[in-house]
């Protein structure tokens, strides 16, 4: 619970100052989709392409974050929400710092993605990395579907836990239909479009215009 004895301490450097220094605006790019849909594979390639274009970009990835910041959390619905809540806060800090964050998290519930969007205060792209369950089960790069099918993993998205498809994402990447290269170029194009087109208010924040539902 939040303490009642805390006061936000304003600084003298604004988000606009940081954006001018970096020559870019911060953006949270939230990749959601089933396990094995391709989120991490696409984010890794997109990070390299964007860095090559001189962009300051950083990847946050589901498993990686669970090695450190969220090593105390499991996969119950409560822990999954806490996982996303912390990540959404971290993404918002990166965004405020002027960095393009590529966040790859299954984030199965619409309310989780909505939370991340609200924290980013409009500088947010929801990207649905789409592949159907059968394709993901066939790919199974980490052998997780096999374990889930045998009951060795509880609360596995798509098998024993729900995945709510995004209703209104800014971008859908169909990884069954399009090659990895195509998916990466669609993503990079959207990021460049968004990072040059959005308008900001005098605190450097854009209004949230595209709700999840
Ligand atoms: N067009 C594509 N885009 C991305 N990945 C693809 C594509 N086509 C096939 N793949 C394959 O799909 C698999 C995706 O695995 P990846 O680890 O990226 O999934 P993920 O969504 O990050 O899963 P998890 O939620 O478990 O971390 C890889 O083996 C990759 O080679
Ligand atoms: Mg991944």
Q: What local confidence, expressed as pLDDT, does residue 126 receive?
A: 98
Q: Is the CB of 60 under 6 A from ligand 1?
A: no
106 and 157 Cβ atoms separated by less than 8 Å? yes
Predicted pLDDT at 88: 97
Mean pLDDT in runs of 10 for the chain (213 residues)? Answer: 87 95 96 98 98 97 93 91 96 96 96 96 95 98 96 93 96 98 98 71 45 34
CA 30 to ligand 2 center in whole angstroms: 12
Q: What global pTM score does this model have?
A: 0.91
Distance CA 169, CA 45 (A): 21
Tokens 């001018």 map to which residue? 20
CATH for the 22-195 domain, from 2.60.120.10, 3.40.50.1000, 3.30.1370.10, 3.40.50.300: 3.40.50.300
Which of 29, 33, 35, 36 for mutating ligand 1's site (highest number of atoms within 8 Å of CB)?
Answer: 36
Quick one: which atom of ligand 1 is closest to the CA of 62? Answer: 27
**67-to-8, 61, 63, 83 alpha-carbon distances in Å:** 30, 10, 7, 12
Measured distance CA(28)–CA(19) in Å, rounded? 14
Q: Which residues fall within 8 angstroms of residue 41, CB to CB, at 6 or more apart?
A: 180
pLDDT of residue 37: 98
Q: What was the pLDDT predicted at 197?
A: 54
Predicted pLDDT at 213: 33
Ligand 1, atom 6, lies closest to the CA of: 38
For the CA atoms of 87, 93, 94, 99, the dihedral, rounded to the nearest 10 degrees, stands at 140
* Domains of the chain, residue spans: 22-195
């Amino acid at each position: 619970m939040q303490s009642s004895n805390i006061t936000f301490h304003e600084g003298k450097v604004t988000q606009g100052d940081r954006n001018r220094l970096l020559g870019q605006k911060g953006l949270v790019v939230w990749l959601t989709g089933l396990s094995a849909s391709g989120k991490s594979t696409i984010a890794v390639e997109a990070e390299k392409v964007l860095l090559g274009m001189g962009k300051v970009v950083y990847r946050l990835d589901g498993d990686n974050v669970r090695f450190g910041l969220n090593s105390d959390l499991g996969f119950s619905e409560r822990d999954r929400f806490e996982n996303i809540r912390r990540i959404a806060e971290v993404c918002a800090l990166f965004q405020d710092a002027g960095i393009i964050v590529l966040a790859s998290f299954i984030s199965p519930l619409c309310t989780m993605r909505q939370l991340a969007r609200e924290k980013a205060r409009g500088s947010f792209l929801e990207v649905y990395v789409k592949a159907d369950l059968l394709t993901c089960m066939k790919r199974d790069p980490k052998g997780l579907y096999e374990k889930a099918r045998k009951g060795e993993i509880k609360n596995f998205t798509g098998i024993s836990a729900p995945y709510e498809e995004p209703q209104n994402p800014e971008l859908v990447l169909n990884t069954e239909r399009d090659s990895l290269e195509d998916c990466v170029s669609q993503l990079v194009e959207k990021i460049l479009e968004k990072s040059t087109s959005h308008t900001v208010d005098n605190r450097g924040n854009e209004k949230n215009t595209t709700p999840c539902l």
